[in-house]
Amino acid sequence: MSITLNWDITRIEQKYLKQGKYIDARLIAYEEGRDDRGQDGMIAQTISKAIKQELGLDEKARGPIIGNYIDWDSQGQSSGNSWASKVKPAKAFQNRTPDPITDDSDNVIPF
């Protein structure tokens, strides 16, 4: 999946940030599909329940629209056809066997 986000940081409401620095955002697809600018939807800042309660906001309160997004997969450039799916790992890693001390894929604890 490949999505490009384009947002205007001046539209971000500081009072809705978690711990003063983390932003929650939601991608909302346009019901009518891609618009005339090639964008697939908008980005809206979300407001957590805790912040809504803290600020005394209605539970249906919504954050501002802060930008748009493009879903490259829906534009015919699916991840199966992308350059990333055609890249092979370096020869050093092609026939690699996992190291039980450093590879946590088997949840091996070395002590």
The verdict on residue 109 lying in a domain is: no
pLDDT digits (tens, 9 = 90+) for 35-63: 888 899 999 999 988 889 988 998 888 89
- Can you give the residue range of the structural domain that contains 13? 3-78
The verdict on residue 91 lying in a domain is: no
The verdict on residue 39 lying in a domain is: yes
The verdict on residue 33 lying in a domain is: yes
Q: Is the pTM of this model over 0.75?
A: no
d(CA 83, CA 79): 8
Confidence of residue 79 (pLDDT cuts 50, 70, 90): very low
The verdict on residue 19 lying in a domain is: yes
The verdict on residue 107 lying in a domain is: no
The verdict on residue 45 lying in a domain is: yes
Two tokens, residue 17: 């940030």
Instruction: Find the length of the chain.
Output: 111
The verdict on residue 8 lying in a domain is: yes
According to DSSP, residue 89 is labeled: P
pLDDT digits (tens, 9 = 90+) for 87-106: 455 555 555 565 555 555 55
What number is the average pLDDT over the span 5-15? 89
Query: Total structural domains in the chain?
Result: 1
Residue with tokens 């629209």: 65
The candidate with the shortest Cα–Cα distance to 87, out of 95, 79, 98, is: 79
